Amino acid sequence: MRLEPVAAPGLARTLGLPALAIAATVVVASALAMLAGANPFATLGLIVKGAAGSKFAALETLNRATPLIFTGLAVAVAFRAKLWNIGAEAQLYAGALMTVLIGTQMGLPGPVAIPAMAIAAVLAGALVLLGPVLLKVRLGVDEVVTTLLFNFIMLLFISMLLEGPLKDPMGMGWPKSEAIPRDARLPRIVDGLRLHWGFGLALISAVVVWVIQVKTTLGYEIRAVGQNPQAARFAGIPVGRVMVKTALLSGGLAALAGFSEVAGLKGNLTLDLSPGFGYTGIVVAMLALLHPLGVVVSALFVAGIFVGADSMSRAAEVPTYIADISVATALLFMVLAILLTRFRVVRG
Amino acid sequence: MGAREVVLRLEGITKRFGKLTANDDIGFALHRGEVLALLGENGAGKTTLMNILFGHYTADSGTVEVFGQPLPPGAPGAALAAGVGMVHQHFTLAGNMTVLENILLGTRPLFGMGLGRGAARARVEQLSRDFGLAVHPDAKVKTLSVGERQRVEILKALYRDARILILDEPTAVLTPQESDALFETLKKAVAQGLSIIFISHKLHEVTAVSDRVIVLRHGRVVGEVATDQTDRHRIAEMMVGAEVALPHPPLGRAGTALMELRDVSTPPEGNRTGLRRVTLSLKAGQITGLAGVSGNGQGALADLVSGLIAPDSGELRVAGQTVARWSPRAALAAGVGRIPEDRHATGSIADFTLTENAVLEGYARPPFSRAGWMDWTRARAHAEDIIEKYDVRCPGPEARIRLLSGGNMQKLILGRALEAGPKIILANQPVRGLDIGALTYVQECLIAARDAGAAVLLISEDLDEIRALSDVIHVMSEGRLSPEFPRGSKTPAELGQWMAGQGFADAA
């Protein structure tokens, strides 16, 4: 068995195969539900119901999707330039840290505090990715390693701050920061329900990233550098500078996830602010084939599975791990589908 | 000839890659003691055919017989075991091992390498004498010249008892003198009963060395003739399907020097030769031809002119001004139009559309962008202009450039460079691998640009092309540049001596 490239994949290939991947995921998830002793149709129904069956459930899914849109965009932007940013988690926490610092220490009035927190978060996230990228551009240090390791450095740094200077004196000894004041929180989109304007900001960000990629010289440069750095360099595109700009954009987007979680949802900084949103962002971006608007769809899909599985496991006797497995399966099938849109399998 | 024993027979070989038929019902026979030339343009199917013979590809249909025995399809090594040896265009030698070790490598267990070395050495020496392949068995391969390395490759095949020898473009890396030595070796080999397939697209070599010629075009055998019953023109016609003639432009009128290099040196990069005190003047209205065996510093000179590298020492002057900061962008701003050697890896971005590729060098300035915003309407119009003016055959400006043939890709790159109105044009191997139509077109465009007052630097390994097109010729050898020779003042043999490094006042 060998792979031969497909010259011009048709519509059936480019849309049909990803659809098939989703269908295959459903089959695998059903089989797992059966293995756990539950009725697969009922289980799937419960997941869908838990994710989108009520206004509350749907809003919960949107809430969960918000940080995933940001980290997914961060990864999509970077991967376009073949800049392997595995450190969205660190950039997210850098953004969250700046949000809490500005929100609790400066005493700014709400309308000033919110943009100040957002800008500080973006700068911090950009700065966190700048280091590894400068090492890559100048010295050729592999950014996969540096950005990945930065995640742990950042978590330990936050942990140190939460046990020390940032520890909430009223926190009963828990490692958490003070909460930012009510008027510095992101307002709710729908009164009385938990969905906040972080989701709106995420949607706007997706559109902005899409416009950058399609309409601006920077987007053109990023795509050129990602697809063929040698030709880009020959054509006079400043490859190093494009990498740095990409890093600033990517790091800033990931940091907005931290800003939105703190200012929109949690109010304070804890070590479990992100259950791996930075890493899940990679899955979200890959499922979206790195398309910024596709990131919104795939973030909703992934968030829906997680929220739906949480709710399902309370009703049926199926562990929530099915969510992780389903997302992982979806990713594997999707990667396979992408491969098969570009190559066909030939016998012999 | 018909009575002679057939040693290799291919029958009905067909191989398709998607819509492309790389080999279409190819069949021919190789006889004992003959040199069969396999001719064809790039993309004619030569490489695919050899890959099928060596089991790297499996043919969709057809059979291969060696010495009357069918070869199992898709089994790499079967051809080798049956006595077919191949000398690739790119050598497969270990540089830090000796000639003898390279020859023995893979013929015996790794830990037994020392055993029976005396006998092996005697055999290698015998083979070198018999076939006129002079090379010292204890020399380290990395110290050998390209011609000597090729001899090691041939010895390797002979040591493995190859009775059929396939040489893939063996002269591409040789000087004319080295090529002549190779031809002598081949004559000795066939005299001893070996059979040889000689793959090439250089006509004069084919007529010099072969007994029979088979011409491939678009994956099909389009002609088979005995060499002594034909001539170069007839063969060329078969290859391209039309009479081929190099242009004979009248000499250009040299104007002022638009780009000058004075004593420029650049460091070697990896195993790539750098420049050694090169002084060169590119004049308006003149084509300067750069001849030389590949890998003798042409790459460094091309990179320097394109802006990818800056002089390490010496001076680069553009339009009379010393250049301080030199980069691809600076070169473009100074009016250097570039046609890079590798149109796939350097000249274009495969998954970009023709429109996106058309503005690769000009996207950052109006009219293609303003204040960071791309104007895709203008970009598309520009691509459509190039497509029409330079006759780029393509599905349209929004098609990906990877779908285009080499010739059409090159036309787009040529159009991109020329439409910017360059004063200096770097054309690095501009017609390599192009079919005759595209080739003639590209050459005519370069002559027209010269006549319009551009200074053209033409780099090519094809001496005929250099001698036909250039107003003045330089030869490069080991990073050094020869003096300027006016067109017609040196014979190919004289240029060959310069290519081999003779005549240089070695100041390094």
Q: What is the DSSP letter of B338?
A: E
Mutate to test the interface with B, among A228, A249, A342, A345 (most CBs of B within 10 A): A228
Of A5, A227, A236, which is closest to B329 when you measure between CB atoms? A236
Q: What share of chain A is helix, strand, coil (3-state, %, to 5)?
A: 75, 5, 20
**Mean pLDDT in residue range B67-83:** 84
pLDDT digits (tens, 9 = 90+) for A233-265: 999 999 999 999 999 999 999 999 999 999 999
DSSP string, B93-124: --TTSBHHHHHHTTTS-GGGTTTTHHHHHHHH
Higher pLDDT, B109 or B120: B120
Using CA atoms, how far apart are residues A338 and A13, in angstroms rounded to an integer?
A: 9
At residue B110, the pLDDT reads 56
How far is B194 from B186, CA to CA, in rounded Å? 9
Identity (one letter) of the amino acid at B354? L
Q: Is residue A286 within 8 Å of A331, Cβ to Cβ? A: yes
Separation of alpha carbons B214 and B36, rounded Å: 7
Which of A80, A234, A338, A344 would best serve as a mutation to test chain B binding (most B beta carbons within 10 A)?
A234
The phi, psi pair for A166, rounded to 5°, reads: -95, 0
* Residues of chain A contacting B17 with CB distance shorter than 8 Å: 4
Reported as a pLDDT band with limits 50, 70 and 90, residue A1 is low
- Which of B61, B327, B374 has the most A C-beta neighbours within 10 Å, making it the best mutation to test the interface with A? B374
Q: What is the DSSP letter of B19?
A: T
Q: Is A195 helix (H, G, I), strand (E, B) or coil?
A: coil
Between chain A and chain B, the number of residue pairs with CB atoms below 8 A apart is 71
Chain B window 301-330: which residues touch A at a Cβ cutoff of 8 Å?
306-308, 327-329
What is the distance between the alpha carbons of residues A235 and A224, in angstroms, rounded to a whole number?
10
| Lowest pLDDT segment from A204-213, B189-198, B292-301 | B292-301
What pLDDT sits at residue B2? 46
Q: What is the token pair recorded at B23?
A: 């080999």
Q: What is the pLDDT of residue B19?
A: 62
Measured distance CA(B217)–CA(B223) in Å, rounded: 9
Helix (H) or strand (E) holding A35: helix A17-35
Query: Are A233 and B308 a contacting pair at CB < 8 A?
Result: yes
Q: Which of B73, B476, B365, B401 is nearest to A228 (CA)?
A: B401
Q: Are B248 and B468 in contact (CB under 8 A)?
A: yes
Answer for the pair B483, B495: CB distance below 8 angstroms, yes or no. Answer: no
pLDDT at A287 over 50: yes
Q: Say yes or no: B62 contacts chain A, CB-CB below 8 A.
A: no
Residues of chain B with CATH 3.40.50.300: 6-240, 257-335+422-499
Q: Name the residue with higher pLDDT: B119 or B32.
A: B32
Residue A97 has pLDDT above 50, yes or no: yes
* Residue with token string 């190859």: B162
Question: In the prediction, which pLDDT does B115 show?
Answer: 63
Distance CA B93, CA B136 (A): 15
- CATH architecture observed for domain B6-240: 3-Layer(aba) Sandwich (3.40)
- Structure-block tokens of residue A322: 């099915």
**B257-335+422-499 architecture in CATH?**
3-Layer(aba) Sandwich (3.40)
Per-residue confidence (pLDDT) for residue B111, from 0 to 100: 59
Nearest chain B residue (CA) to A347: B58
Which region among B56-60, B237-241, B336-340 has the lowest average model confidence (pLDDT)?
B237-241
Taking CA–CA distances from B307, the nearest residue in chain A reads A234
Q: What are the residue boundaries of the structural domains of chain A, listed by start? A: 69-285
With a cut of 60, say whether residue B452 has pLDDT above it. yes
Please compute the mean of the pLDDT values over residues A256-285 and round it to a whole number.
93
At B314, give phi and psi (nearest 5°): 95, -175
Mean pLDDT of A81-103: 96
**Is the model's pLDDT at B245 over the cut of 70?**
no
Q: How many angstroms separate the first and last alpha carbons of chain A?
A: 5
**pLDDT score, position B339:** 95
In chain B, residues with a C-beta closer than 8 Å to the C-beta of A216 are 372-374
Name the A residues in 210-249 with CB < 8 Å from any B CB. Answer: 215-220, 223-224, 227-228, 230-236, 238
Provide the pLDDT for residue A157. 96
Task: Name the more confident of B477 and A110.
Answer: B477
> What is the enclosing helix (H) or strand (E) of B419?
helix B406-419
User: Taking CB atoms and an 8 Å cutoff, what residues of chain B touch A234?
Assistant: 306, 308, 328, 338, 340, 346-347
Give A156-179 pLDDT, tens digit per residue. Answer: 999 999 998 888 888 777 888 989
pLDDT, average across residues A84-102: 96
List, in sequence order, the alpha helices (H) in B117-248: 117-131, 146-159, 176-191, 203-209, 232-240
CA–CA distance, A137 with A56 (Å, rounded to integer):
47
Confidence grade of residue A348 (pLDDT, cut at 50, 70, 90): low
Query: Predicted confidence band at B508 (pLDDT cuts at 50, 70, 90)?
Result: very low
Q: What is the least distance, in Å, from the CA of A219 to any CA of chain B?
A: 9
Sequence-ordered strand ranges (E) for chain A = 2-5, 343-346
Measure CA of the first residue to CA of the last residue in chain B; give whole Å. 54
* CB contact at 8 A, A330 and A25: yes
- The whole-number pLDDT of residue B1 equals 44
What is the SS3 assignment for A46-74?
HHHHHHHCCHHHHHHHHHHHHHHHHHHHH
